[in-house]
Amino acid sequence: MSDKFSDLLDSLSRTKLEALENIHVIEQIEYFTKLCKPAKVTVLGEGEEDIRYVRDLALKSGEETTLKIRGQTVHFDGYYDLARDVGATKVLTTKNMRLSKRINTIDRDDGLKEILTLLDGAMGGKECLVKFYSLGPTNSRFSLCAMQITDSPYVAHSEDILYRQGYSQFKRLKGSKEFFTFIHSAGELNENRVTKNVHLRRIYIDVVDGKVYSVNNQYAGNSVGLKKLALRLAIHKANHEDWLAEHMLIMGAHPPGKNRVTYFTGAFPSACGKTSTAMIPGQSIVGDDIAYLRIDDEGYARAVNIEQGIFGIIQDVNPIDDPLIYKALTTPRELIFSNVLVADGIPYWLGMGRDDIPEKGVNFSGEWWKEKRDSEGKEIPFAHGNARYTMRLSELENVDPKYNDPEGVVVEGILYGGRDSDTNVPIAEALSWEHGVYLGAALESETTTATIGKTGVRRCDPMANIDFVVVPLGLYISNHFSFGRRLKHKPRVYAMNYFLKHEGRYTNSKLDKKVWILWAEGRIRGEYDAVKTPIGCLPLFNDLETLFREVLGREYSEKDYEIQFSVRLTKQLEKIERMENFFKDEEMPEEFWSIMKKQREELMSLKLETGEEVLPPSFFQAV
């Protein structure tokens, strides 16, 4: 440890750093602080005093402000820093690395030169925080160690809520260099304490060295290293080993009147119902975003949530559709709101179910008033469509008792859900594990405000992971096939769609997802028959009619059933053509193409046989 570096540390920080007995940790911190040139470096452990230090600094720095309800704060990102920046997020590649053409890449040497230049002096005059975390439960074979270096107390505070403290976990490394490193600087801030130079926003992932570099941004999807940025590093690691790192929720399904729990994982692109699925009333949540899956000694798939908190989209969270989340958001607890409207210390967001939204306040644009417009003349809404809340899972009434279990939970069902207005049924069970992998790979979603760019564009998003896959797409899909081959007890796989429309209206209510999940749970337990079709096994009307009455207390009509669960032959064939075009340049495994071919042949045969474009579920045979 050089004298110059040591001078940036107080005695407590030096003691904490030396106690790790890890030269790799010390060398990295010294290198990056020398590069970024902060005025001070604070190394933090995992005690409450250290956690409180970060919270207090977030307020002192102006990156967060307190609200009226005890424990709540608000953070604002800049007007042009409100979502994941896919274009500025790139994987550093060497000449011998081959990735999908859909993955943004930059030559590793060129990328490092650019990002290190941008980071040079980026922390000038600011305090650099060094934090240690465990991606997953501590003392678990699932978990990975991660070190965050940042000049944003908001980022560190968010990670203290979202992730398990890992200082002790780093001690268990016994000097090993097997950990991820995340370097972040918000860069120069303007008078509103938000990033000024967003045109120089860069997020570069170095899978060769297990590092992520992020500069000139504050939005958590770009800056909180342990979230989607760490997912990319984990995907690379998992796909060169024997496990899966997935963009998945984990939840426990609890059928009423039955003393059992069945665990599901589920992949949904942003704003497609993932968090609300994990929070279905009467069920339990293990995690809402990222899961690591491994095979145990008995041949079961097990999953852990790498996080201990939620960074959830707040739009449309209201007391009717999401009562558990709404209650948590409106009662005292440690919680960070971002990019909502604040008036008199009270947060307001889109779709919260209130008619008394103030006509002025503070939001992501600064001082806000009704009909305020930006520099391009576009009216600024009172809250952003990608506004978020950050809170601990332990604060929720429905947290599953196994959410922190180092052995994870046994996965018996996997859900793949997209945002699709005209093709897929609300739920269909895959015909086999291989067919389930195909359904996951063929996941489509209409784009939302969670990513920068146009909304409403149909986008193929394999396993809801296309933005994060840093290995060839064919390898990624192939590893899902092989993962299933190694399982003695394969989970059942389900394709889900909450966004089917008929005559311009959604065919589902937001509460219907509870019925779909409990039907899937009953199928796993052998309690329901199904209708076999080329796109999967569909529910029988009588079973859904009973579930709707017992679970939601309302009648379910045969007309609704026919509209929702008819097989749209033409639309399904059009989707297959889109999938063929999407994957044609990828080196996909043969299983993928054979499943696509079989499904196309069956759908075309039915269309020729019947002359119909849409077939009702009653056309098919129950099994």
Active site residue ranges: 272
Question: Is the separation of the CB atoms in 215 and 115 below 8 Å?
Answer: yes
What are the φ and ψ backbone dihedral angles of 85, each rounded to 5 degrees?
-95, 95
Report which of 603, 277, 217, 216 is spatially closest to residue 417, judged by C-alpha positions.
Answer: 277
Cα 216 to Cα 194: distance, rounded to the nearest angstrom: 9
Tokens representing 260 are: 């059992």
Instruction: Say if CB 28 and CB 147 are below 8 A apart.
Output: yes
| Lookup: tokens for 109 | 């040497």
Alpha carbon distance 495, 479 (integer Å): 19
Q: What are phi and psi of 444, to 5 degrees?
A: -120, 155
DSSP 581-602: HHHTTS---HHHHHHHHHHHHH
**Amino acid (1-letter code) at residue 507:** T
- How long is the chain? 623
For tokens 């995690």, the residue is 287
Q: At what angle do helices 433-441 and 473-485 cross, to 10 degrees?
A: 160
Distance CA 593, CA 591 (A): 6
Beta bridge partners of 538: 531
**198-202: long-range contacts (C-beta < 8 A, 24 or more apart)?**
198/78, 198/80, 198/81, 200/118, 201/81, 201/85, 201/88, 202/88, 202/90, 202/114, 202/115, 202/118
* Whether the Cβ atoms of residue 507 and residue 513 lie closer than 8 Å to each other: no
